[in-house]
Amino acid sequence: MDSKVILITGASSGIGKSTSVLLLKKGHTVYSAARRTEKMEDLKREGAHIIKLDVTSEESASAAIRQILDEQGHIDVLVNNAGFGQYGAIENVSTDDAQKQFDVNVFGLARLCRLVLPEMRKQKSGRIINVGSMAGHFCEPHGGWYHSSKHAVAGLSGCLRQEVRKFGIKVIQIEPGEIRSEWSGIAMQNLCESSAGTVYSKGAEKQSRLYAFGEKHLATGPEAVAKKIAAAATCRRPRLVYRTGFGCVGLSLASALLPRRWFDAIFIRLFT
């Protein structure tokens, strides 16, 4: 197997960190990037190149890509994993917070795609792996900005895949279900803070309790997603979409087969 130069964003924890470890073990040159580099000393000891990267900053993103090209001469794989969950009722989440959700989950992802594409075109090969979510295929109360950002990632990835295939560049989507990580706790903290003292507070408390139960008893470890990303990065003919994690099959079937009223009724009953 040829060693590849791979950039992974959001690598300070969860899926990004697990993916970095797995690809390092497979002998690849891994650049692990995140805003919180102090949490990545263990990756550095494993052999990862650590980059401080804020995906919402053009200057930061450009500097990261320049560093990799200066040191390695090329980039084979970009894993767009950075993201977070801005949960809260549409009425309660400020426009600034909603824009921050899209700046990280969508525009930051697109920014890095734009930066690596010219180099991948020159080498007539490359892979862009966008970590979306099953949330890009259904809706739930209090998750409007997060879900809409993941719907956008799915649409952007599909369009980009069609645009760049003729250049030898593959675009792959990863769509996890419920994964054990910091994500759930941060999302539910955002939800409870934005809902406090409002008409949505009781629903927010119910949703937070259910998410905590899922995180503790049902969620799949991030290593399962790392295996899918590694396959997408290295196999000869990768799938267009990889799904893994608790609930991904059930939610996919339910959203496709159930009447919309029924699907809505389930989530309204659970979370409001």
DSSP 8-state secondary structure symbol assigned to residue 108? I
Q: Which amino acid is at 218?
A: L
Sheet holding 241-244, edge to edge: 49-52, 29-34, 5-8, 77-80, 126-131, 169-176, 241-244
The CA–CA distances, whole Å, from 251 to 190, 203, 223, 237 equal 24, 21, 21, 26
CB atoms near residue 59 (< 10 Å): 8
Distance, in Å, from the CA atom of 45 to the CA atom of 193, rounded to the nearest integer, reads 37
Cβ pair 50, 43 in contact under 8 A: yes
Q: Where are the beta strands (DSSP E) in 178-246?
A: 241-244
As given in the structure block, the two tokens for residue 20 are 């970095």
Distance, in Å, from the CA atom of 249 to the CA atom of 245, rounded to the nearest integer, reads 9
Task: Determine how β-strand 5-8 pairs with β-strand 29-34.
Answer: parallel
Of these residues, 87, 146, 211, 242, which one is catalytic? 146
Task: Provide Rg for the chain, Cα atoms.
Answer: 19
Is residue 242 annotated as a catalytic residue, yes or no? no
> Which active-site residues does the annotation give?
146
